[in-house]
């Protein structure tokens, strides 16, 4: 890993898109899409997120809610949100991912709209506005400009609309995933430069990726929260969690719904953060 790379957004975006295109066929197998043949099946991510999100909705339910899912990948969470009652629009920059998502929705009997665009251009590409904008797990480290991101979120929301994000905690991402203990290795604070990674594998599934290079940006909590506040949103909920839906480190142990640090370390570092914000 190269810790500080000054690269133009368009160049980084092109490299990252190649990498995510390569991931699609691996994830199509590894995500267990056959489980969606059961009409009651929801992804683990959505099973976790919906009870939290619904606490902040006027009707305390996703039923009948217009929802835009940013960075939806192959649509497992989007389809699950539709099964929870929402009218869904999925947004992603990978055409192959959206093809799989569309096929999954059709196979699952779920009505969904799919929009191919960068999340940083979402307002221009997506028609309509929404009661809920949703994003969850493995999203904002791929973005260089959180002010631009938060502006897209705010512009997509109707007045009174709700934004929900759960993602990997920046304190977690600062840790050395291969160390024998909790050791900080990577930057917690961002400085505008990217981190360059070269990994032939992906976070789930077997097989190698033809384009292994990616670029990510560290974003501390102050930047994440500040970007939403600067976009005019009001923070109504913040929380931190001890469990992830993927194995960040080989030392993590499987727990119900995901992975966590060994029990003796579980209270030492957060794994996720959750923010709910509202457009007034």
The gap from C-alpha 265 to its chain's centroid, in whole angstroms, comes to: 25
Contacts of 195 by beta carbon, 8 Å cutoff, 6+ apart: 1, 2, 3, 4, 5, 186, 187, 215, 216, 217, 218
Contact 85, 62 (CB under 8 A): yes
Count Cβ atoms within 10 A of the Cβ of residue 210 and give its class: 0-12 exposed, 13-18 middle, 19 or more buried. exposed
- Please give the C-alpha separations between residue 254 and each of 35, 41, 197, 227, 267, in angstroms, as whole numbers: 20, 21, 26, 33, 16
Contact 197, 216 (CB under 8 A): yes
DSSP strands (E only) in 46-106: 66-70, 87-92
Taking alpha carbons only, the member of 17, 15, 16, 28 closest to residue 205 is 28
Residue 31, CB-side half-sphere exposure with 13 Å CA sphere:
23
Contact 196, 1 (CB under 8 A): yes
pLDDT in tens, 99-131: 999 999 999 999 999 999 999 999 999 999 999
Contacts of 280 by beta carbon, 8 Å cutoff, 6+ apart: 159, 160, 232, 234
pLDDT of residue 206: 86
pLDDT of residue 229: 98
Contact 115, 50 (CB under 8 A): no
**Low-confidence spans in the chain with pLDDT less than 70:** none
Count the neighbouring beta carbons within 10 Å of the beta carbon of residue 99.
16
pLDDT of residue 102: 98
Residue 273's domain is classified under what CATH number? Answer: 3.40.50.150
Contacts of 40 by beta carbon, 8 Å cutoff, 6+ apart: 83
Count of structural domains within the chain = 1
**Which residues form the domain of 93?**
2-279
pLDDT of residue 62: 98
pLDDT of residue 65: 98
pLDDT of residue 51: 98
């Amino acid at each position: 890993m190269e810790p500080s790379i000054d690269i133009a957004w368009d160049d980084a975006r092109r490299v990252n898109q190649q990498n995510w295109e390569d991931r699609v066929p691996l994830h199509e197998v590894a995500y267990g899409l056959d489980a969606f043949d059961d009409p009651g099946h929801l992804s683990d991510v959505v099973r976790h997120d919906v009870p939290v999100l619904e606490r902040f909705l006027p009707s305390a339910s996703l039923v009948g809610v217009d929802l835009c899912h940013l960075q939806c990948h192959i649509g497992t969470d989007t389809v699950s949100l539709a099964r929870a009652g929402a009218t869904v629009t999925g947004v992603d920059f990978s055409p192959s991912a959206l093809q799989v998502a569309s096929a999954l929705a059709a196979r699952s009997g779920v009505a969904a709209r799919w929009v191919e665009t960068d999340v940083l251009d979402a307002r221009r590409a997506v028609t309509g506005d929404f009661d809920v904008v949703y994003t969850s797990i493995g999203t904002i480290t791929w973005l260089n400009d959180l002010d631009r991101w938060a502006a897209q979120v705010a512009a997509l929301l109707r007045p009174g609309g709700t934004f929900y994000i759960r993602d990997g905690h920046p304190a977690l991402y600062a840790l050395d995933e291969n160390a024998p203990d909790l050791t900080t290795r990577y930057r917690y604070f961002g400085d505008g430069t990217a981190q360059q990674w070269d990994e032939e594998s992906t976070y789930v599934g077997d097989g190698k990726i033809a384009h292994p290079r990616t670029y990510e940006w560290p974003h501390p909590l102050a930047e994440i929260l500040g970007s939403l506040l600067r976009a005019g949103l009001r923070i109504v909920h913040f929380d931190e969690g001890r469990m992830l839906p993927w194995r960040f480190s080989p030392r993590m142990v499987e727990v119900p719904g995901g992975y966590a640090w060994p029990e003796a370390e579980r209270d030492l570092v957060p794994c996720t953060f959750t923010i709910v914000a509202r457009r007034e």
